[in-house]
């Protein structure tokens, strides 16, 4: 139950923050930008965003006893041989996963992937960096996380060019990075063409439709997800899309279901405020 609550809390943070970040650069291009040929990958990560910096920040958000345990594991890294170091890194990645902190977990998976060049570690790293992007509003962190996500998924794609998870993650990272959003959208559309019910591809296409003001398209993406499984994120974004379309009744119904699924009193109060505004 504790782990489930942590996961729900992370989702709540994501839905409250990710939507209201700045519009994705390039999804709505100004006329003078049309036809320009941008670089294919995100900018290099900021030098000051490292495993150490994200771990320090994350430890302030978790139980002190768990933070102390992680401190102990980290202290062993310096004096370990390569095999021991890899084991410790994997243990640390798992510990951070268990407390819903994707950023430090991502860096450990990235280190493992660079050592072992395995598909699972590249995917784990890329997915965690994309998750970390969603729950931070710090521009330097976002830049670092998207650049590292691109690196991870590009390496995963080299190992398995047709892997849909790698294409989905890479497409998402391309759009988040802002350098080549349309290339990212193309990758996501390729995924849903092959797998129409792909959860992550549809979720991100829905989000990017919202950010570019295409709320009708967003509604269809989120309804596709809800038809598969009722979950907090698609219901919240569906409600927001209906609200932007002026469909108040539908928005209220989606907010109400989102609130039920959250089971979080604080987030529930925020949802109540949105509903109250719509009922005016």
Decide whether 49-195 matches 196-280 in CATH topology: yes
pLDDT at 18 over 80: no
**Structural domain spans, the chain:** 49-195, 196-280
Determine the CATH number of domain 196-280: 1.25.40.10
For the chain, the average pLDDT equals: 86
CA of 98: how far to CAs of 115, 126, 133, 167, 270, in Å?
A: 23, 17, 18, 26, 26
Q: Which ranges constitute the DSSP H helices of the chain?
A: 2-17, 51-59, 64-75, 82-98, 102-116, 119-134, 139-159, 164-177, 181-194, 199-211, 215-228, 232-244, 248-262, 265-279
pLDDT tens string 29-84: 433 333 333 333 445 555 689 999 999 999 999 999 999 999 999 999 987 788 89
pLDDT at 210: 92
Which residue in the block uniquely carries the two structure tokens 């430090």?
104
Provide the whole-model pTM: 0.84
Average pLDDT score over residue span 227-256: 95
CA distance 228 to 225: 5
pLDDT tens string 93-134: 999 999 999 999 999 999 999 999 999 999 999 999 999 998
CA distance 95 to 78: 18
Determine the CATH number of domain 49-195: 1.25.40.10
DSSP state of 245: T
């Amino acid at each position: 139950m504790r782990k489930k609550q942590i996961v729900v809390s992370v989702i709540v943070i994501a839905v409250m923050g990710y939507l209201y970040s700045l519009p994705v650069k390039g999804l709505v291009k100004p006329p003078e930008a049309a036809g320009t040929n941008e670089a294919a990958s995100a900018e290099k990560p900021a030098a000051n965003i490292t495993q150490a910096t994200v771990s320090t920040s994350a430890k302030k958000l978790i139980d002190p006893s768990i933070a102390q345990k992680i401190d102990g594991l980290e202290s062993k890294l310096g004096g370990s041989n390569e095999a021991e170091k890899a084991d410790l890194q994997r243990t640390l990645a798992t510990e951070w996963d268990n407390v819903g902190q994707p950023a430090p977990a991502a860096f450990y998976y990235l280190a493992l992937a660079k050592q072992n060049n395995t598909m699972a570690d590249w995917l784990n790293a890329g997915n965690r960096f994309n998750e970390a992007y969603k729950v931070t509003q710090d521009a330097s962190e976002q830049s670092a996380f998207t650049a590292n996500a691109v690196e991870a998924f590009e390496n995963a794609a080299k190992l398995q060019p047709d892997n849909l998870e790698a294409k989905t993650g890479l497409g998402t990272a391309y759009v988040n990075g802002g350098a080549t959003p349309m290339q990212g959208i193309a990758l996501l559309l390729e995924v849903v063409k092959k797998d129409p019910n792909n959860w992550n591809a549809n979720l991100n296409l829905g989000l990017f439709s919202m950010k570019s003001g295409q709320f009708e398209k967003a509604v269809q993406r989120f309804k596709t997800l809800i038809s598969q499984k009722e979950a907090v994120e698609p219901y919240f974004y569906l409600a927001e899309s209906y609200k932007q379309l002026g469909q108040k009744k539908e928005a209220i119904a989606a907010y109400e279901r989102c609130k039920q699924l959250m089971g979080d009193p604080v987030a529930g109060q925020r949802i109540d405020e949105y509903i109250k505004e719509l009922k005016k």
